A and B are shown apart, each in its own frame.
Chain A
Amino acid sequence: MNSRFKTQYSKSKVVGLYLLLVMTILYCAGPLLWQFITSLKPDTEVIRMPPLLPQDATLDHYVSIFEGHPFLRIILNSAVVASLTTLLSLIIGSLAAFGLAKLDIKYKALILGFVLSVSMFPPIATVSPLYIIIRSLGLRDTWWALILTYTTFSLPLSIWILTNFFREVPDEIYRAAKVDGCSPFQTFYKIMLPLAAPGIVTTAILVFIFSWNEFLFALTFTSTPASRTIPVGIALFPGLHEIPWGDIAAASLVVTIPLIILVFAFQRRIIEGLTAGAVKG
């Protein structure tokens, strides 16, 4: 923030602002904190209250999730599914978006509306027919079952975000590239893609998070650890006599870490992406 815009606040106002900030953080991060506390409690303390904080903090749960469960395999499944989905969604999405934003195509608004309609059906309504398709394709319990489904359902998001980003690229730049000897496809990957980089990163992260966290399709289309993804894997942690809350909490936290790293690594780009077009550079 530029120092010119700093405002002088009275002490009580500052205290009030911080109070509000702490409350907001507690509200947003509260469940996560609760998970964290739970994950550190030994089994005997997990379902007791008080104490709020673990009396006898332990890392047992973090160790146990990797022992006895194919947890690493499940993380790998999720990583592959989410990465490939992101890649496919970006490739198809950016090509479609480029066409819709810059090429001479009729009925653009209609196409965009139609694309959006894909995401209007609730997943629960589409899951049964999709299951039948997946089964008849012989893709049940494979990565591809999820990759194809996720790509389909993430495309509306990719296309809409990227179309707006490509539209932001001035027409004169697009024309300049044509005059300088680019074919439409060369214009796309030499000029448009680099200029829409913030949009690509934003879209990639959103699609990745969506695929990483998706539960319903993953539960339906997978049946063994060969292709089971994290949300399903955690939900199905076997417990003989009780629900293993401590393990679930630990696992949930572990799998959130990659997302947090991803978002922080690209934070600057995302912010550029979300505010792009506000100011012409």
Chain B
Amino acid sequence: MADIRFEKVKKRFKDVMVIRELDLTINSGEFFVFVGPSGCGKSTILNMIAGLESATEGNIYFDSTMVNDLSPKERDVAMVFQSYALYPHMTVFENMAFPLRMQKTSREIIGKEVERVASILGLKELLHRRPKELSGGQRQRVALGRAIIRQPKVFLMDEPLSNLDARLRVEMRSELKRLHQELKITTIYVTHDQAEAMSLADRMAVLSKGEIQQCGAPTDIYLKPANIFVAGFIGSPPMSFFRCAVKKHQPLEIDINGFIILPSIEAIPEGDGVVAGIRPEDITVADQRLERDIEDTVSIEFIEPVGAFSWADVIWGGAKVRGILDFKGKGPEIGENAIIRVPKDKVILFDPDSGRRL
């Protein structure tokens, strides 16, 4: 158990600035997720916490101890890797016992601990197998077991679920969450999958190009994205964006595809244009008007059923927009006319130049 603090941490590989400047505190016992597209520097951050890579500048603290110059062993961290990184020449038992052996734990305690962890993870039957005789999900469990067996200060997880198939991934997600609630050990998790981040994180940081774009609880980030990047990255399918004109500054009036809205926002845009973002799950493509909100006639381009409902793609104001299909009668044909309905209060406005939310 430890909280982890970054103080002006920078990382450069040769001429490439991978981490620009990181100031962040991860609280003790927290499940913290770094999420971002590939190449955003999230794995580098994890490696710096583990001690596998050193920071070019700045300090990293575990509680009040500066760990810059400590080896991974001295930092007492455990890590789960994307490829599991099990030792192929050892059995499941030996793999999980390995970190304890390295601490010179006695044989009896090792035996007991492996037994305990194996039963938590449902690996009891597999202790004598080698990694190559295991399925992907089982390997994943062994990798987890090897990490939790010595109750480290911090768990580090580098995209641990991305090699699993979709169903196992969802199962393991809840298992990870359950484990964290049981063990209450600070967990730092790296992923490029925003859905995984949303469902696991107590708090998360959205990264792009080596910088934290936003840090906070998943729902806060979802509802109040700090900028266009975060808004587009978090949420699936991604948010639709429209360029809009500012009709009037005081009070603010904005024209979205010919519809005027009067948003109540904190900052007033300086220029005469803004970017409006609307999440697909807030847009309805219907066959009836409600005469509320913004409503316009569009034609249906594409329909994608996902079971409980269907997504419909329409062209609105020259851009492709996705919304939830809501037809009372029978399902529409492609090319048929429909009504797009956008609730005014769900429109999020961004500054077109800085990308920041207004």
Which A residues have a C-beta under 8 Å from some C-beta of B?
170, 172-173, 175-183, 186, 191, 194-195, 281
CA distance A182 to B102 in the complex (A): 7
Are A172 and B83 in contact, with the CB atoms below 8 A? yes
Are B52 and A175 in contact, with the CB atoms below 8 A? yes
- Let me know if B321 is at the binding interface, CB within 8 A: no
Are A170 and B99 in contact, with the CB atoms below 8 A? no
Q: Taking CB as reference atom, which chain B residue is nearest A184?
A: B71
Q: A186-B102, A281-B132 are in contact. Are A179 and B78 (CB under 8 A)?
A: yes
Q: Taking CB as reference atom, which chain B residue is nearest A182?
A: B102
Q: Taking CB as reference atom, which chain B residue is nearest A173?
A: B85
CA distance A181 to B102 in the complex (A): 6
Are A178 and B85 in contact, with the CB atoms below 8 A? no
Are B73 and A181 in contact, with the CB atoms below 8 A? yes
Are A172 and B81 in contact, with the CB atoms below 8 A? yes
Q: A180-B146, A281-B132 are in contact. Are A175 and B85 (CB under 8 A)?
A: yes
CA distance A10 to B296 in the complex (A): 74
Are B85 and A170 in contact, with the CB atoms below 8 A? yes
Contacts of B50 in A (CB 8 A): 175, 179
Are A172 and B132 in contact, with the CB atoms below 8 A? no
CA distance A195 to B89 in the complex (A): 7
Are B85 and A172 in contact, with the CB atoms below 8 A? yes
Are A194 and B89 in contact, with the CB atoms below 8 A? yes
Q: A172-B82, A175-B81, A176-B81 are in contact. Are A181 and B88 (CB under 8 A)?
A: no
Residue of B52, B83, B103 touching A181 (CB-CB under 8 A): B103
The contact size tier of chain B is: 20 to 34
CA distance A274 to B274 in the complex (A): 63
CA distance A183 to B81 in the complex (A): 19
Closest CB-CB distance, B344 to chain A, in whole Å?
50
CA distance A186 to B98 in the complex (A): 12
CA distance A144 to B277 in the complex (A): 80
Closest CB-CB distance, A278 to chain B, in whole Å?
16
Closest 3 CB pairs of A and B: A181-B102, A172-B85, A176-B85
Contacts of A177 in B (CB 8 A): 87
Are B81 and A195 in contact, with the CB atoms below 8 A? no
Are A179 and B52 in contact, with the CB atoms below 8 A? yes
Are B78 and A281 in contact, with the CB atoms below 8 A? no
Q: Taking CB as reference atom, which chain A residue is nearest B74?
A: A181
CA distance A183 to B74 in the complex (A): 11
Residue of A172, A175, A180 touching B102 (CB-CB under 8 A): A180
Are B98 and A180 in contact, with the CB atoms below 8 A? yes
CA distance A175 to B50 in the complex (A): 10
Contacts of A178 in B (CB 8 A): 51-52, 71-73
CA distance A178 to B156 in the complex (A): 14
Are B89 and A181 in contact, with the CB atoms below 8 A? no
Closest CB-CB distance, B204 to chain A, in whole Å?
23
Contacts of B86 in A (CB 8 A): 173, 176
Contacts of B342 in A (CB 8 A): none
Contacts of B72 in A (CB 8 A): 178-179, 181
CA distance A191 to B146 in the complex (A): 15
**Which among B78, B88, B103 has the highest number of chain A CB atoms within 10 Å?**
B88
Contacts of B347 in A (CB 8 A): none
- Chosen A-B contacts, 8 in total, with CB atoms closer than 8 Å, are A172-B81, A175-B50, A176-B79, A176-B87, A181-B102, A182-B73, A194-B89, A281-B88
- Let me know if B245 is at the binding interface, CB within 8 A: no
Residue of B79, B83, B87 touching A179 (CB-CB under 8 A): B79
Are B99 and A181 in contact, with the CB atoms below 8 A? yes
Q: Taking CB as reference atom, which chain B residue is nearest A174?
A: B85
Contacts of B77 in A (CB 8 A): 179
Closest CB-CB distance, B97 to chain A, in whole Å?
10
Closest CB-CB distance, B185 to chain A, in whole Å?
15
Closest CB-CB distance, A191 to chain B, in whole Å?
6
Q: Taking CB as reference atom, which chain A residue is nearest B47?
A: A175
